[in-house]
Amino acid sequence: MRKLIYGLFAASALAFASAANAASCVGDCSFTVSPGTNPYAGPAPTYTFDPGSRPGGTTTGNFVTGTNDGPPPLYAQPFGTAAGTGAYGGAGYFYEVGPNTSSPGIIDLTSFGLIQSLSFIWGSVDTYNTLDILDNSQNVLFTIVGNDIFNPATGNRTDPATNPLVTFNFSGSAPANIGYLRFTSTQNAFEIDNLAIGAVPEPATWAADAARLWWHRSLHAPPAEADTGAARVRSCNPVKGGSSGPPFFVRESPGLLLDG
Ligand SMILES: [Ca+2]
Ligand SMILES: [Ca+2]
């Protein structure tokens, strides 16, 4: 009986470890944390969260600017992106979720192809911030919490260590599966800015692009002689000093025609 209990315990512990590993950013997921800089020095943002630079689709959450100390305190501007202080985020809008505004919030990335990397400024990292990286059906692929970024995640608003650039890299099956980011914060707040998505078209898109390229080229192809296989005949001058015989001709193989 004792063996059975131990066995069950070991099996459940193993299952728990597997579940935990499945949710952590390991395997096909890795990340780096670089202390925040002012001005911002990361990749060009896909979304600065200013008007006109915001994720679409089924995205939820809040686009705000500045710091709102309430009461209760709602959110704080991520370090290095306050108006006029950074090369990016100059208009100052950022993305946030929290119980007094809305939480969780979802950023819809389903319009991108293979997502190989993504980065953002994680502002005032808190222990109660949770990022879930979801697949296209919104199942959790990877989970990262504030203390994974900096421990202890004190929420300090100006310390570069708690306002870092966080960069994720994905491999294996992850790039094709990532569909959404889910931000949860059980207290105010989880703030990010300058979300940069590193994506390439999916193979299906490549095929479509190739088909479009072929169609475009077929529309602009040389006259039909290039496609009929008919030999093209080019007249040449008679050989200098030759007899009074007829001029000779050369045949140009259509197989030598190169597509521009
Ligand atoms: Ca911004
Ligand atoms: Ca925060």
Backbone conformation region of residue 124, classed left if phi is above 0, alpha if psi is from -120 to 50, else beta: left
For residue 32, pLDDT beyond 50: yes
* C-alpha of residue 243 to centroid of ligand 1, in Å: 83
Q: How far is the CA of 41 from the centre of ligand 1 (A)?
A: 13
Q: What is the pLDDT of residues 108-141, one digit of tens each?
A: 999 999 999 999 999 999 999 999 999 999 999 9
Distance 122 CA to ligand 2 centre (A): 8
> Taking residues 13-38, what's their average pLDDT?
73
Q: Which ligand is nearest to the CA of 65?
A: 1
**Closest ligand to 157 CA?**
2
pLDDT digits (tens, 9 = 90+) for 176-235: 999 999 999 999 999 999 999 999 987 766 677 677 777 777 766 655 444 444 433 333
* Cβ-count burial 77-88 (b if 16+ within 10 Å, e if not): bbbbbbeeebeb
**Which ligand does the CA of 190 lie closest to?**
2
pTM score of the predicted model: 0.71
Domain spans of the chain, in order of start: 23-202, 204-256
pLDDT (0 to 100) of residue 231: 39
Residues contacting 178, CB < 8 A, separation 6+: 109, 115, 133, 134, 135, 136, 141, 170
Q: What pLDDT, on a 0 to 100 scale, did the predictor assign at position 203?
A: 74
Beta strands in 80-218 (DSSP E): 93-97, 105-108, 114-123, 129-135, 140-145, 165-170, 178-185, 190-200
Ligand nearest to the CA of 187: 2
- Collect all residues with Cβ–Cβ distance below 8 Å to 135 and sequence separation of at least 6: 141, 177, 178, 179, 180
Distance 90 CA to ligand 1 centre (A): 6
Ligand nearest to the CA of 193: 1
Looking at residue 39, its pLDDT comes to: 79
Q: Which residues surround ligand 2, an ion (CB under 5 A)?
A: 124, 126, 155
Grade residue 90 by pLDDT with cuts at 50, 70 and 90. low
CATH topology of domain 23-202: Jelly Rolls (2.60.120)
Q: With H, G, I as helix, E, B as strand and everything else as coil, classify residue 135.
A: strand
In angstroms, what is the span from residue 64 Cα to ligand 1's centroid? 9
Q: How far is the CA of 81 from the centre of ligand 1 (A)?
A: 6
Ligand number nearest CA of 195 is 1
Percent of the chain residues topping a pLDDT of 70: 69
